[in-house]
Amino acid sequence: MRFAAILTPALVGFGLLAGTAHAADMFAAIAFSPTSGQAGSAWNFETALLAETEAYLQCGSEDCYTAVIFSQCGAIAVGDGYGMGYGQDLSSATAIDLALSSCSEYTTNCQITAAFCNEGY
């Protein structure tokens, strides 16, 4: 399996990541900081909680929150003033379109800052 970042030995040591999951059983998450515009991403995790935790850790700001958890493809767009939108779908292209559309409802100059799919999509 591919992971968004190096996992802590504690998670691996407790066997929380053991086994191979099917694409439909994998989770991804994107965390976002509204004050810095930073985002963290995690994909191909066996539980939503593990994906959410890793995305938060990757985000790197105390005010990061989970913008979206998904099992297929997802994207986040960030614009002026750190306005943000996200999208999720079976395809990366549609997730990107949804993220840009959602972001443009809140701000201008939206740009995709992360877009990815769990393995198998």
**Of 4-8, 61-65, 93-97, which range is least confident?**
4-8
Residue 23: predicted pLDDT: 55
- pLDDT tops 80 at residue 22: no
- Better-scored residue on pLDDT, 14 or 26: 26
Residue 92 has what pLDDT? 96
CB 92 within 8 A of CB 115: yes
Of 13-17, 32-36, 49-53, 81-85, the range with the lowest mean pLDDT is 13-17
Say if residues 108 and 77 touch (Cβ distance below 8 Å). no
Q: In what order do the strands lie in the sheet with 73-78?
A: 84-89, 73-78, 111-117
In this prediction, residues 82-99 reach a mean pLDDT of 97
Show the 3-state SS of the chain: CCCCCCCCHHHHHCCCCCCCCCHHHCEEEEEECCCCCCEEEEEEECCHHHHHHHHHHHHCCCCCEEEEEECCEEEEEECHHHCEEEEEECCHHHHHHHHHHHHHCCCCCCEEEEEEECCCC
pLDDT on residue 117: 97
Task: Convert the pLDDT of each residue in 24-60 to its tens digit.
Answer: 689 999 999 999 999 999 999 999 999 999 999 999 9
Domain ranges of the chain: 21-117
What pLDDT sits at residue 9? 33
Residue 4 confidence (pLDDT)? 39
CA–CA distance, 37 with 8 (Å, rounded to integer):
25
Region class of 15: left (phi > 0), else alpha (psi between -120 and 50), else beta: left
